[in-house]
Amino acid sequence: MTIKERYRRVLDLFEAAMPVAETELHYDNPYQLLVAVILSAQCTDKRVNMITPALFEAYPTAESMAAATAEEIYTYIKSVSYPNNKAKSLAGMARMLVEKYHGEVPSDIDSLMALPGVGRKTANVILAVVFNRAAMAVDTHVFRVSERIGLTTGSKTPLSTEKALVKYIPEEIIPKAHHWLILHGRYVCKARRPECLDCVLTEVCRYYQKNTGKNN
């Protein structure tokens, strides 16, 4: 099986198994998604969704959050991982949105990555989800799943994984493929105990074939 054939088959299997695939973070607008994605770093979406209703009620706009101190924001997010750093990032991010972008979330990767608390992964999530761009955000799930099933081989960094995925996945489905890989890693292809018996990709999965000796 060539690498192109592997990608085509994986994408076909995902499409059949998950015709609808989207972020599990709760949000109503680009500002709220940006806040939620910043909070989700090294934290579960479930935990983030527990705290954002009160946070968004207190700070419904970038302008309202920009007027708050990091200490005030902290009281709403203290149950997430690294709340002190994230509170500072959110305060700085909101101020920059107001000062440079009239409170609107920018639509290019460089401007997004200039915001406090926003790295390449977060920027790509915003580009894919909000603006439907062909941007592949690589988190731990995407990195792990891509390597296991054979979409990448010996990838050492999220950026190298991103480049490989973007090279072979058709542009128009990259935003959806991002969610396929995340959700598959979150619920099936788990880090310590992958649930291979519940997996729709075993026929093409390098990890499964190596560990079971089966080659469907």
The last residue of a domain, from among 109, 129, 149: 129
Is there a contact between 38 and 88 (Cβ–Cβ < 8 Å)?
no
Residue 195 has pLDDT above 80, yes or no: yes
Q: Is 121 annotated as catalytic?
A: yes
Tell me the C-alpha distance between 125 and 25, whole Å.
Answer: 11
Q: Name the phi and psi angles at 140, rounded to 5.
A: -65, -35
Residue 137 has pLDDT above 70, yes or no: yes
What's the confidence (pLDDT) of residue 136? 96
Is there a contact between 151 and 164 (Cβ–Cβ < 8 Å)?
yes
Catalytic residue among 12, 78, 108, 121: 121
35, 84, 144, 141 alpha-carbon torsion, rounded to 10°? -30
Q: Looking at residue 57, which CATH number applies to its domain? A: 1.10.340.30
Q: Looking at residue 190, which CATH number applies to its domain? A: 1.10.1670.10
What's the confidence (pLDDT) of residue 151? 97
What is the mean predicted confidence (pLDDT) over 123-136? 94
Is there a contact between 45 and 25 (Cβ–Cβ < 8 Å)?
yes
> What is the per-residue pLDDT across 52-93, written as a single tens digit (0 to 9) for each?
999 999 999 999 999 999 999 999 999 999 999 999 999 999
| CA 73-77-191 angle, 5° bins | 145
Q: Name the phi and psi angles at 214, rounded to 5.
A: -95, 145
Task: Give percent helix, percent strand, percent coil of the chain, each to the nearest 5.
Answer: 60, 0, 40
Catalytic residue among 139, 156, 190, 214: 139
Q: Which domain holds residue 87?
A: 30-129
CA atoms within 13 A on the CB side of 163: 7
What is the mean predicted confidence (pLDDT) over 6-30? 95
- Residues 190 and 166 placed together within one structural domain of the fold: yes
Query: Percent of the chain beyond pLDDT 90?
Result: 95
Radius of gyration of the chain (CA): 19
Residue 216 has pLDDT above 60, yes or no: no
Q: Provide the whole-model pTM.
A: 0.89
Query: Percent of the chain beyond pLDDT 70?
Result: 99
- Residues 39 and 109 placed together within one structural domain of the fold: yes
Q: Name the phi and psi angles at 90, rounded to 5.
A: -65, -40
What is the mean predicted confidence (pLDDT) over 17-31? 94
What's the confidence (pLDDT) of residue 1? 87
What is the mean predicted confidence (pLDDT) over 36-60? 95
